[in-house]
Structure 1
Amino acid sequence: MSTGSDYPALMTARRATVWLRRVAVHLGAMHLSGALLVLTFLVTPGWVDAYGAAPADDPTADLPPVMILLGALFGCVTFHVVVQIPAGLLGSWLGRRGGVLVSYAVAVAAAAALTLVFLWGVVGVADAAELTALWLDYMARAAVALAGYVGLTSALRPRPARPFPGVEG
């Protein structure tokens, strides 16, 4: 029985190393895109500005500002896990043969669809104008963060070895 190598354990270890490297690259890219997403919230979304507009008899008017920030952070983490990570993985997997721009386009397209499902199905935004405004806000933030994800995974993607010109192998 021939396995294609005299040392099958060496080939298994090499495959495991390649697999672990790929996992490490994607984990690093996920953390980078999450950090970029959080940094995009330095530009506050419009719905945070509406915090002080609540009437005095509204029970949510007594909500401390830290709860607004925690809510935004929870929404950011949820969006990252539900939309960004799957879109980044899908973009880097489907676009791996087409280059960086194809990977980015696939990731943004997947994020656009997942964001719409997230806002409409999970968050429960039913008003079309509000849904459009939130979708555009989240997509602008996701596009920046996905650029970091796809850029890092593309930069660290293993390339096939090419022989030197004029050298016969």
Structure 2
Amino acid sequence: MDVPREVRIEQALTRGLPRLSKRVLLHLLAMHVSGFVLLASFLVLPPAWETQAYGVIDPPALVILAGIAMVVICHVTVQLPAALLGTLVHRRAAGRAYATTMAAAGVLAALLTWSFAGTWADWLDIVLRLALSLACYVALALVR
């Protein structure tokens, strides 16, 4: 008995969607958690440019907002593309996924840093902050 092509496509989509939606939800959860970890790293230990911009204990709100804007820019332009690349290329091996993620993050962070006329110290600061948050992303995204 031959099953029509449309029925086979519908059955394949019905079986594939729960698995796909679980992976998408895991990646969304990992994105939000890693973004929160990145934000916490900027709020707990502010970068050098932020402390030099206004050198007192309680900086004005504009300096804090500039730091949060930097976190959002770093999260969207560096962290998410690098994390998606690493976890989608190496779905089974967490170590290789993390290494690929950090390599991509290093290159993207260099482009971001030098587009804002940054220095090697600024690049290293961003990459070290990204290391912890990307480890969280890889650990959450590759949960079985």
Same fold (TM over 0.5): yes
Task: Indicate the residue corresponding to 2:128 in structure 1.
Answer: 140
Q: 1:93 to 1:3 in 2, by over 3 A?
A: farther
Deviation digits for residues 125-161 of structure 1, max 9, x if unmatched?
1xxxx520000000000000000000001114xxxxx
Is 1:79 matched up with 2:74?
yes
Equivalent position of 1:58 in the other structure: none
Which position in structure 2 is the counterpart of 1:30?
A: 31
Change in 2 beyond 3 A, CA 1:73/1:2: same
The C-alpha deviation readout for 1:103-124, integer Å capped at 9, x for no partner, is 0000000000000011112x2x
Choose between structure 1 and 2: higher helix proportion. Answer: 2
* 2:27–2:141 CA contact under 8 A, matched in 1: yes
- The answer as to 2:13 corresponding to 1:12 is yes
Paired AA for residue 107 in structure 1: T
> How many angstroms apart in 2 are the aligned matches of 1:76 and 1:29?
16
Measure, in 2, the Cα distance between the counterparts of 1:108 and 1:100: 12
How much does 1:7 deviate? 6.2
Listed one character per residue, the Cα deviations across residues 22-41 of structure 1 (whole Å, up to 9, x for unaligned) are 11111111001100101111
Q: RMSD of the TM alignment (CA)?
A: 2.0
DSSP-derived class of the 1:11 partner: helix
CA 1:147–1:3: 2 relative to 1, 3 Å: farther
CA distance in 2, matches of 1:34, 1:15: 29
Higher Cα Rg, which structure: 1
- TM-score, scaled to structure 2: 0.87
Query: Which has the higher mean CA deviation after the structures are superposed, 25-34 or 42-51?
Result: 42-51
Q: Deviations over 1:71-128 (max 9, x none)?
A: 100110111000000000000011224x11100000000000000011112x2x1xxx
CA apart distance, 1:8: 5.1
> Residues 34 and 136 of structure 2 are in contact (CA less than 8 Å); yes or no, is this contact kept in structure 1?
yes
For residues 52 and 9 of structure 1, do their structure 2 counterparts lie closer, same or farther at Cα, with a shift above 3 Å needed?
closer
Question: Kindly, what percent of the aligned residue pairs are identical?
Answer: 34
Question: Unpaired runs of 5+ in structure 2?
Answer: none
CA deviations over 1:35-64 (Å, ceiling 9, x no partner): 0101111111111221235xxxxxxxxxx7
Q: 1:117 to 1:3 in 2, by over 3 A?
A: farther
User: Which ranges of structure 1 fall in alignment gaps of 5 or more residues?
Assistant: 54-63, 157-169
Aligned residue in 2 for 1:43: 45
**Matched residue SS, 2:142:** helix
Q: Displacement of 1:20 after TM fit?
A: 1.3
Aligned twin of 2:91: 96
2: CA distance, partners of 1:27 / 1:110? 20
